[in-house]
Amino acid sequence: MPDQIVLHVQLTQEDYLAANMTFIRWKRMLLRLSLATAAIAFIFIAAYFGGGAHIPETALNFMGIWFLFVVGILVGIRFLLPWRSRRIFKQQKGLQRPHTITWNDNCMTYESEQATARTPWTDFILWRENDVLFMLYFSEVMFRMIPKRAFLGEDSVTSFRELLRNKISSTEGRKRTSE
């Protein structure tokens, strides 16, 4: 592997949406719990109306509110998140500008006409990957996006993934162990 790799990056709205969908992926456990709760609520309601079982009114009210909460989460993920991601991408001009990303054994460097940032590998706390990009996290909510299409091929993507495993965390999505 050469001493320094250079990627030319132009992010798109689709990249930003994919990053946001990946960011909320860890929250899917809450969603699964909500769906399980809604299923249980449905069973209780079916038993109440179908079998004449007595369920306290407060329990039915709680189950109804919880069901609406779950529906709200699903609507938010399906419709509001894409809308908001496109809106923020349009507002944040820095995301729309072309830039280069380089790295070596010590750090990663982001460079555009407006800014240059050199980040030691030890400053990244975790990394995530989806079908279209890598996300390198500075904190639990701030990350750098690197689209896979910026790489020369699948071998380059695989090499970069190995670099992330060696420099940040051996498991994608797991925080760096203390140093």
State the CATH class of domain 5-11+96-167.
mainly beta
Tokens of 139: 């904190």
Whether 177 shows a pLDDT value over 70: the answer reads no
DSSP the chain: --S-EEEEE---HHHHHHHHHHHGGGGHHHHHHHHHHHHHHHHHHHHHHHH-----HHHHHHHHHHHHHHHHHHHIIIIIHHHHHHHHHHH-HHHHS-EEEEE-SSEEEEE-SS-EEEEEGGG--EEEE-SSEEEEESSSS-EEEEEGGGSSSHHHHHHHHHHHHHHT-SSTTSPPPP-
Q: Is 21 exposed, middle or buried (0-12, 13-18, 19+ CB in 10 A)?
A: middle
- The answer on pLDDT for 30 being more than 70 is no
pLDDT in tens, 67-77: 787 778 778 77
Of 38-52, 144-158, 162-176, where does mean pLDDT reach its minimum? 38-52
Query: CA-to-CA distance for 73 and 50, rounded, in angstroms?
Result: 28
Q: Note whether 8 and 146 are within 8 A (CB).
A: no
Q: What is the pLDDT of residue 27?
A: 61
DSSP designation for 149: G
Domain ranges in the chain? 5-11+96-167, 18-93
Predicted confidence band at 1 (pLDDT cuts at 50, 70, 90)? very low
